[in-house]
Amino acid sequence: MDLTERFLKYVKFDTQSDELTNMTPSTPGQYKFAEYLQKELEELGLQEITLDENGYLMASLPANTDREVPTVGFIAHLDTSPDMSGHNVRPRIVSHYDGGDIVLNEAEGIVLSPSEFPELMNYVGEDLIVTDGTTLLGADDKAGIAEIVTAVEYLLNHPEIEHGKIRIAFNPDEEIGQGAHKFDVKAFGADWAYTMDGGEVGELEYENFNAAVANVTFRGRNVHPGYAKHKMINSIRIANQFILMLPRWETPEHTEGYEGFYHLVKIEGDVEKTTLTYIIRDHDRDRFERRKRELEHLTRKTNNEFPDCASIEIKDQYYNMREKIEPVMNIIAVAEEAMRLAGVESKVQPIRGGTDGAQLSFKGLPCPNIFAGGLNFHGRYEFVPIQSMEKAEKVIVEIVKIVAR
């Protein structure tokens, strides 16, 4: 089975994660997909294949050399984003893309256009896999899974390529921030690993946001509006006042690069009680801590005006993996050299988000992130160039060769 065929088969599995189920994996489709992959890996002839009750699938390609070679791992996630349906995905290949509009769904007037997505022009002449406009595609991260499996199959078919032991793993629930929570680093047994979970071709990432979630709750007092003077406390209005106290320009729509932000992701409430949910992001650990303290300060300030009205709960989610990667920067050099040998120009850049690799790095498995090739993740305009997936597969093979050297 070639890479494209494999990917097109994988996206047929509905593997959306769901943070509300409180289960691992959070949805049954992920486990069903893992079972399919388990059988595929068995048929390929991999060893030490394990699939635990939480949906973590691991396997080994044994070393074919007697020399002592580090064990390197490759990881991708089973789930797709809850942001859009992954049910009944109907992918289509646009061969030799000509640089024009791509009609995804004529009946609904859904068009993938370079006027809105100028990055399309970087792939003129290539073969793009697109959606039918009603679902996401699932290149995040089924492209990564397909690339890893295809690279391992290539190595099995080319025993003349010397390599050490290679470990692969596919985990659930990355999209809801829980992919590394039950990942058994000791059982995985790699010296370091790479997540194949980046975007466009060339991406190489070992810096990510420090991340936290904050729930700010405001309690009010409801009184008949006709008789409410000096009695009513409207929690919605107080919450709105709180929102306006935060810096207007420190939001996702006004930031880029290393700039952090406060992002209001949910409002729930009525006069009696309103809750704001924020995610807090910053690459710099000190600024990250200051952002959390600022939310706490504004909560106290609100209580000065409306006594005992506001409360806040902040929970850290993950941290910038850079502090764990910097002592082992040779693994970045390996990835950069592999990209060069695969004909790819590496683009080292910070992740404006997080990956399983960030949490795994803090669990003792240094784990930077490499491109899988897709673009416009989590929505109907997602696409992946076949040539980008092929380059990602080649990068995996070149990493294995370099490590063996």
Whole-angstrom distance, CA of residue 370 vs CA of residue 339 = 10
Tell me whether strands 203-205 and 347-348 are parallel, antiparallel or unpaired: parallel
| CA-based R_g, the chain, Å | 23
CA distance 259 to 264: 16
Q: Is the peptide bond before 141 cis (omega within 30 degrees of 0)?
A: yes
How many C-beta atoms lie closer than 10 Å to residue 401's C-beta? 15
Catalytic residue selected from 79, 132, 203, 390: 79
End-to-end CA distance of the chain: 29
Q: What is the per-residue DSSP string for 16-75? A: B--TTS--SSSSHHHHHHHHHHHHHHHHHT-EEEEE-TT--EEEEE----SS----EEEE
- In angstroms, rounded to a whole number, what is the distance separating the alpha carbons of residues 53 and 80? 19
Place of tokens 């160039």: 385
Exactly one of 174, 205, 390, 393 is catalytic; name it.
Answer: 174
How far is residue 138's CA from residue 298's CA, in Å, rounded to a whole number?
40
356 tagged catalytic: no
**Please, what is the angle between helix 3-10 and helix 386-404, to 10°?**
110
Distances (CA, A) of 8 to 82, 85, 135: 20, 17, 14
Q: Cα–Cα distance between 184 and 386 in angstroms, integer?
A: 32
153 is a catalytic site residue: no
By annotation, the residues acting in catalysis are: 79, 174
